[in-house]
Amino acid sequence: MAESARPPSTPAAPPAPPSQLGPFSSPCSLQNLNLPPNRGLERALEEAGLSGVLNISCRKLKDFPRTVHSHDLSDTLEADLSKNRLSDVPADVCHMVVLETLNLYHNCIRTIPDSFIGLQSLTSLNLSRNQLCSLPACLCGLPLRVLNASNNKLVSLPENIRQLQNLMELVRLNTLSLELNVRRNLLCVLPEELADLPLVKLDFSCNKVSTIPVCFRKMRQLQSLQLENNPLQSPPAQICLKGKVHIFKYLSIEACRSEKMPDSLFLPVMERLILPQPSAGR
């Protein structure tokens, strides 16, 4: 008897090829390619020399690669050093004079060097999630359009912050609004100079601010005001809970009171001056 025909066996599917690493791929994907860490870093530097985009994030770097001088990075336009362990801004970064975008998110950086002033093409700077206690005045001399300084230890903002008139946004990336985000810092005072900036969104929540300057009432373009988790006394908490309109109304009333204050202080003196004089017969 003839054997019954067996259906042909289905050949096993070939293993999927490893994903190719493009010039904008995350360096974290290097682990999937089983490349030696040093080789992966060298490849990122080589690609930066060709594309103008340096991406060395997620590498646990404590220092800038020593082999950087073996590559021509003078034309680097974008540099991503986020999610490393850098305690200082690498000096080599400050020599990238045509740099337009710099991402230092989630490092251990404590200070910004004055040599930053040489980055006169820098328009986007992300400093969030570091250990900064202050921002240097030199940042206000840059053509920044994006500045993210949230989640640091800032106790103050630069006095010349009003010079950031060119800014398109002052905080979050990939938005079109004018924003300032200094959330989760140690700020006790908001500089009055902020009122000169055309901000649409202002977030100073989770700080130590007790007073909103009365001049903030002039921020007519402001649409969103985030101020929760501050020990605010002026305006008081019950006013702040009602929203921006009530806050600005309070600030306007306080401004009127402060403008009349000299008259009210002068009034008792005038009253003493116009008191009737005692008659000559007394």
Whether residue 103 contacts residue 77, with contact meaning beta carbons closer than 8 Å, is answered with no
Per-residue pLDDT, 158: 87
148 pLDDT exceeds 60? yes
Per-residue pLDDT, 132: 95
Domain segments of the chain: what residues?
Answer: 40-131, 158-259
Average pLDDT over residues 79-84: 96
Per-residue pLDDT, 196: 83
Per-residue pLDDT, 165: 55
- 104 burial level (CB within 10 Å; 0-12, 13-18, 19+): buried
The pLDDT tens digits of the residues spanning 150-208 come to 999 999 888 888 777 555 444 443 343 467 889 999 999 999 988 888 788 888 999 99
C-alpha distances in Å from residue 2, one per residue of 5, 24, 121, 269: 9, 61, 83, 127
Per-residue pLDDT, 29: 40
Per-residue pLDDT, 38: 61
The CA-based angle 150-153-154, given to 5 degrees, is 75
81 pLDDT exceeds 90? yes
Residue range 40-131 forms a domain whose CATH class is alpha beta
Fold category of 158-259 in CATH: 3.80.10
Give per-residue burial for 144-181: e unless 16+ CB within 10 Å, then b.
bbbbbbbbbebeebbeebebbeebebbbbeeeeebbbb
